[in-house]
Amino acid sequence: MSLLEVNSLKKIYSSAFKSNAVTALNNISFSVEEGEYIAIMGESGSGKSTLLNAIAALDTPTSGNILLKGTDFTKIPDHKMAAFRRSHLGFVFQDFHLLDTLTLEENIYLPLVLNNTPLHEMKRRLNALIPSLGIGRILKNYPYEVSGGQKQRAAVARALITYPDLILADEPTGALDSRSADELLNLFNEINENGQTIIMVTHSISAASHANRILFIKDGAIFHQIYRGTASNDELYNTISKTLTVLMSKAPSPIRRIAN
Amino acid sequence: MKLKLYSKLAVSSIIKNKPLFIPHILSGVIMTAVFFILYALSGSSAIEQLPAGGVALVVLLKYSAILIGFFSIPFLIYTNTTLFKNRAPEFGLYNVLGIGRIAMIPLLFLENLLTYGIVIFSGLFIGSLLFKLAETILIRIMKGDISYSLHLNLNAAAVTIVWYAFTFLILFLSDSIKLLKNSTVDLLRTSHFGDNPLKHPRLSTILGMLILACSYLASFWVGSRGESPTNHSLTCFNLTCGIIISTYLLFVTGSIYFCQKLQQNSEFYFTPKHFITISSLKHRMHRNGSGLASICILATFVLLTLTFSFAFYRGCSTMLNSHYPNDLSIVMQAKEDTSIDNSNAETIEKTLESHGLISQASSLLSATATSAYLTGIIDMSSNVYSQEFQNSRPKKFFPNNDDLVDIRVISLEDYNKLCKTDVTLDDNTVLIMSKSSGYTDKILSLIGCDGHTYAIKTTDTIPPLTELKYNNTYPEGSGIKECYVVVPDISSFLGTDVTGKTSYGYVTYYKEYDVSLSVSKEEQLSIGNAIVSDLEASIDHSSSELSCATRVEKSDKLSGLSGGLLFLAFIVSLIFILMASLIIYYKQISEGYEDSTQFDIMRKVGLSLNGIHSTVNFQLLLTFFSPIIISGLHLLFLTPILYRLLAFSIVCNKSIIIMTTILSFCTYSIIYFSVYKFTSNSYLKRIAGKSNS
Ligand SMILES: Nc1ncnc2c1ncn2[C@@H]1O[C@H](COP(=O)(O)OP(=O)(O)O)[C@@H](O)[C@H]1O
Ligand SMILES: [Mg+2]
């Protein structure tokens, strides 16, 4: 059994005036095995965030279903959803999504606190994370007092601390300088090597070249996918850029370019 | 040229930042309007001509005006800080674009000048409109009897203009300092500008509590003195300042210190229920503490005003009964160094006879004297106002009223007649009664004016004096000890030689005629007017002062005045409440966006919608209701002073005062709550709308 199965997922955004409905996802199906590191690429507006939000159960799909370890969570009732989300899924967002009212330490604890985890257990888990994340000295700071890279590492710590089945990251390097971005990608590789499954949406080819598998999305459907196999990061980088050239040449609107 | 550019920039920046300027300007307008109304009222001749409590009310109004004036400064600084905080990035950007910070100062000045202009103009406009409205109603009810002078209004306007010019100058200076002191980067860091951690939260919390406790104690102290609080104006002023300062300290630092303490208790803090609530509460108080403190102080003020006006309104009939107990009363007061002029008394009786009223009239001769009360002995032999007396007494006992007693001497004959009793007295014995029970029991003997000592007849066998209708008595609860001394013969008791004794406040003779009229109101009025004009013409004014009034006439005036005051108080309170709510509302809206992103994050991290809603609700409740709860507490502890103030001039009934306090609190809460419901709904919609999408 796969860790995650996405079956013919469809998402239609319909505004109050039915006439201009947008089909953001059009029959997407794929599965993710435990321990995989998947990058999702595609043009802006191609439906990447919509897909990730559906997997994150932040949004309900129009049709289709998503199974996490065999459980269809599109069928989980609303009031149990929050608890399900915080015990099975971890998130990393482009703009960090840290609460300004909490210190970094408290931000990291947040999902555990909501799960009623005892304090000593929270401390134990955080202490185990600190060496690889290098955030030991800034734990008592507030998010607005530290740099973007530090914020993102705190956000990663918050995602990891629940020992989630799956980490979902939506353009996690999007707001970081290249050094911080590299550090974050190395961190992702490290946690992936420890067995953590990751799905990451990205615009950046170099970010995607860290993954084991790359899914290309176009107009709400999977257009292509690349497996790393035995390729090195550089080889993968080349393959990805070639694929993207093909993807773009077929793009309906030549003005829409991929960033980076 | 440069000026033109700057003024253009100033106007456009105010227009562009309308949502930020509106709450600030609105607060300013309302502060000036209320200041103007209070100040103009305190100089209004209508109030001064009140039969009772007029002087106290004038003092109270002036006092309130001064308080509002002073209070405007921190309040407007608060709204201005919020404004500046939000505009800091704009200034930072100007700086980046190459406009020097010094060069921005004229712009700031023009902006403040413009704001001041709008504020003062609209404030005075609204203020005079409301004032005129109240005045018109007053004059109409009082049948144009009160003369107003425009001069006083102009005076109030001038004071308002000058005072708020000063206030806005302070705002301008604080803006300039902030602009010069902060680096460009600090200015650019928009949302956290000025969010510096507190320096000594513990110290200032303790200080705040201490000041508050002292203020409350001082209130009880003033209340426990048996005199008008206007005699302790310095204490009252300090106490008011104390309450204002401590309210600020507790809201701004105390709340945060409290949250910090809770956060330090990990077992308590790291639970789903408390974690988000406490941390966001701390954040919110950090930003809004001083705003909430301002609102709390305003609310206290509103409550005091409302209570006072309600009590005044409710106490009208009591006041009427104590000051005008009879349908028609004619009081003749002997002037200095004279006794009652008997020919004048005869004139009055003749006049009454000519109107056919002599059978309905009863007359009473009495004399009042302020005497010393020292360890069980009332001493009437020395003039308490004389220098020798004051010098011979220990300072702390004088001029404290506890040591003085106001005596009204009446003859046994009059007493028996009025009370329908048959009491007899020995030559060396007097009867003593007082309104405050238990007091006369302690009186052992009385030294008369001539130094002769009298024995006291036991009082418990004497029927109560409530049957007696006197004019010019002090209200019960005023703290002034008032005794009735019944003597066989007044002139032999006081001595036949009155020279030097009947000076002001020592001994004064009264002859009063109480007439009951059993005709319609209109007829009572015309009878009263006829008698007044007859007496004015025929009485010898050199020996006596005459006052003659019908109860009907006074009653009309009094209820008109109290109604007008209540109306005005209501308007002022309503403005206050609306202002407070508007400020909160604007804050909710401006923070709504920021909050909604925070709640969005919480939802993504795994907080359920229910959890978010209960957090939002708790915060809303707290921001709305903490000011009113604390102001209720202030009101409770200020009641002793309020009671004294009211008791001294208007109402003496404790239950009326308690009722009016409760009534005003409820009125306030109801209005406030409806505003809360209205604003919180739109806020919740905003939050929910954001986090559902
Ligand atoms: N809440 C929404 N309402 C309506 N349309 C939306 C909404 N969110 C996204 N869309 C549309 O769905 C499409 C996919 O959006 P998104 O998943 O955000 O793209 P990506 O993340 O790949 O840039 C876009 O055309 C976008 O306009
Ligand atoms: Mg996106």
Cα–Cα distance for residue pair A3/A199, rounded to 1 Å:
12
Contacts of A79 in chain B (CB under 8 A): 608, 610
CB B296 within 8 A of CB B251: yes
CB B149 within 8 A of CB B45: yes
Residues 6+ apart with CB under 8 A from B210: none
Q: Which of B272, B603, B610 is facing A113, going by the closest CB pair?
A: B272
The string of pLDDT tens digits covering residues B387-435 is 666 666 544 444 444 467 778 888 888 888 777 777 788 878 888 876 6
Query: Best-predicted range by mean pLDDT among A13-22, B84-93, B251-260, B422-431?
Result: B251-260
Atom 14, ligand 1: residue with shortest CA distance: A47
Q: Does the bond joining A164 to the residue before it have cis omega, within 30 degrees of 0?
A: no
Q: Could you tell me which of A106, A227, A165, A83 has the C-alpha nearest to residue B270?
A: A106
Tell me what pLDDT residue A255 has.
Answer: 40
Q: Which of A81, A91, A119 is facing B270, going by the closest CB pair?
A: A119
The answer to whether A102 contacts chain B (CB < 8 Å) is yes
- Name the A residues in 16-75 with CB < 8 Å from any B CB: 56, 58
Higher pLDDT, B420 or A136: A136
CB A49 within 8 A of CB A170: yes
> A86 vs B602: CB contact, 8 Å cut-off?
no
Cα–Cα distance for residue pair B634/B640, rounded to 1 Å:
11
Neighbours of B309 (CB within 10 A): 24
Cα–Cα distance for residue pair B604/B612, rounded to 1 Å:
11
CA nearest A77 in B: which residue?
B608
Cα–Cα distance for residue pair B181/B660, rounded to 1 Å:
50
The string of pLDDT tens digits covering residues B290-338 is 888 888 888 888 888 788 777 777 777 777 776 677 788 888 887 776 7
Residues 6+ apart with CB under 8 A from B177: none
Atom 8, ligand 1: residue with shortest CA distance: A50
Tell me what pLDDT residue B191 has.
Answer: 54
CB B64 within 8 A of CB B308: no
> B605 vs A106: CB contact, 8 Å cut-off?
no
Quick one: average pLDDT of B89-109?
82
Token code pair at residue B493: 């008791």
> A109 vs B602: CB contact, 8 Å cut-off?
no
Contacts of A113 in chain B (CB under 8 A): 270-272, 275
Query: How many degrees, rounded to 5, is the angle at CA B682 between CA B681 and CA B686?
Result: 115
Instruction: From residue B217, give the alpha-carbon distance in Å to each of B213, B221, B457, B638.
Output: 6, 6, 40, 10
Tell me what pLDDT residue B649 has.
Answer: 61
Query: Best-predicted range by mean pLDDT among B60-74, B270-284, B378-392, B499-513?
Result: B270-284
Q: Using the atom order of ligand 1, give the atom closest to the CA of residue A44.
A: 23
Mean pLDDT of chain B, nearest integer: 77
Amino acid at B657: I
Look at residue B113 and tell me whether its pLDDT is greater than 70: yes
Tell me what pLDDT residue A31 has.
Answer: 93
Q: Using the atom order of ligand 1, give the atom closest to the CA of residue A170.
A: 21
Provide the shortest C-alpha distance from residue A119 to chain B (in Å): 7
The answer to whether A93 contacts chain B (CB < 8 Å) is yes
The string of pLDDT tens digits covering residues B235-283 is 888 888 899 899 999 998 999 999 999 999 988 899 888 888 888 888 8
> B270 vs A109: CB contact, 8 Å cut-off?
yes
Q: Which of B267, B270, B275 to mutate to test the interface with A (most CBs of A within 10 A)?
A: B270
Tell me what pLDDT residue B55 has.
Answer: 63
Of the pLDDT bands very low, low, confident and very high (cuts 50, 70, 90), residue B691 is: very low
Q: Using the atom order of ligand 1, give the atom closest to the CA of residue A53.
A: 17
Q: Which of A82, A101, A122 is facing B606, going by the closest CB pair?
A: A82
Query: Best-predicted range by mean pLDDT among B3-12, B208-217, B484-493?
Result: B208-217
The string of pLDDT tens digits covering residues A204-250 is 898 999 999 999 998 889 988 999 888 888 999 999 998 888 877 76
- Secondary structure of B438-488 in HEC code, one letter for each residue: CCHHHCCEEECCCCCEEEEECCCCCCCHHHCCCCCCCCCCCCCCEEEEEEC
Question: Number of A:B CB contacts under 8 A?
Answer: 70
Look at residue B8 and tell me whether its pLDDT is greater than 80: yes
Of the pLDDT bands very low, low, confident and very high (cuts 50, 70, 90), residue B146 is: low
Residues 6+ apart with CB under 8 A from B593: B686, B690
Q: Could you tell me which of B302, B290, B360 has the C-alpha nearest to residue B330?
A: B360
CB B289 within 8 A of CB B251: yes
% of chain B with per-residue pLDDT over 90: 11
Q: Give ipTM to 2 decimals.
A: 0.79
The answer to whether A15 contacts chain B (CB < 8 Å) is no
Q: Which of B185, B188, B605 to mutate to test the interface with A (most CBs of A within 10 A)?
A: B605
Look at residue B14 and tell me whether its pLDDT is greater than 70: yes
Atom 18, ligand 1: residue with shortest CA distance: A49
Tell me what pLDDT residue B592 has.
Answer: 66
Amino acid at B277: T
Of the pLDDT bands very low, low, confident and very high (cuts 50, 70, 90), residue B140 is: low
- With the most atoms of ligand 1 within 8 angstroms of its CB, the residue from A40, A50, A170 to mutate is A50
Of the pLDDT bands very low, low, confident and very high (cuts 50, 70, 90), residue B217 is: very high
Cα–Cα distance for residue pair B413/B489, rounded to 1 Å:
8
Q: Which residue has the tokens 């504020």?
A: B119
- CB-based pocket (< 6 A), ligand 1: A 13, 22, 24, 42, 44-50; B 693
Contacts of A122 in chain B (CB under 8 A): 270
The answer to whether A113 contacts chain B (CB < 8 Å) is yes
Query: How many degrees, rounded to 5, is the angle at CA A255 between CA A252 and CA A256?
Result: 75
Quick one: average pLDDT of B190-207?
72
Q: Which residues in B40-95 belong to E strands, given as ranges?
A: none
Neighbours of B368 (CB within 10 A): 18
DSSP B229: G
The string of pLDDT tens digits covering residues B163-194 is 999 999 999 999 898 888 877 777 766 555 44
Quick one: average pLDDT of B599-609?
79
Q: Using the atom order of ligand 1, give the atom closest to the CA of residue A47.
A: 17
Cα–Cα distance for residue pair B660/B647, rounded to 1 Å:
13
Token code pair at residue B608: 């359920």
Q: Does the bond joining B399 to the residue before it have cis omega, within 30 degrees of 0?
A: yes
Q: Which of A79, A99, A116 is facing B272, going by the closest CB pair?
A: A116
> B601 vs A97: CB contact, 8 Å cut-off?
yes
Token code pair at residue B483: 């005794």
Cα–Cα distance for residue pair B282/B684, rounded to 1 Å:
20
Quick one: average pLDDT of A52-72?
88
Q: Could you tell me which of B653, B640, B665, B659 has the C-alpha nearest to residue B219?
A: B640
Cα–Cα distance for residue pair B586/A176, rounded to 1 Å:
35
Cα Rg, chain A, nearest whole Å: 18
Look at residue A258 and tell me whether its pLDDT is greater than 60: no
Smallest-distance ligand from the CA of A217 = 1
Of the pLDDT bands very low, low, confident and very high (cuts 50, 70, 90), residue A32 is: very high
Q: Which of B260, B601, B619, B693 to mutate to test the interface with A (most CBs of A within 10 A)?
A: B601
Lowest mean pLDDT across A36-50, B125-139, B288-302:
B125-139
Write down the pTM of the prediction.
0.73
Q: Write out the H or E segment, with its range, that includes residue B408.
A: strand B404-411
End-to-end CA distance of chain B: 51
The string of pLDDT tens digits covering residues B508-525 is 888 888 888 888 878 888
Tell me what pLDDT residue B12 has.
Answer: 86
- B453-457 and B429-434 strand pairing: parallel
Cα–Cα distance for residue pair B513/B46, rounded to 1 Å:
28
Q: What DSSP string describes A156-214?
A: HHHHHTT--SEEEEESTTTTS-HHHHHHHHHHHHHHHHTT-EEEEE-S-HHHHTTSSEE
Query: Best-predicted range by mean pLDDT among A182-191, B61-70, B337-346, B634-643?
Result: A182-191
> A101 vs B280: CB contact, 8 Å cut-off?
yes
Query: Best-predicted range by mean pLDDT among A130-139, A191-200, B385-394?
Result: A191-200
The string of pLDDT tens digits covering residues B526-584 is 888 888 888 888 888 777 788 887 888 777 777 766 776 777 777 777 777 776 776 67
CA nearest A98 in B: which residue?
B601
- A89-93 and A166-170 strand pairing: parallel
Question: How far apart are the CA of A257 and the centre of ligand 2, in A?
Answer: 14
Q: Which of A78, A83, A110 is facing B605, going by the closest CB pair?
A: A110
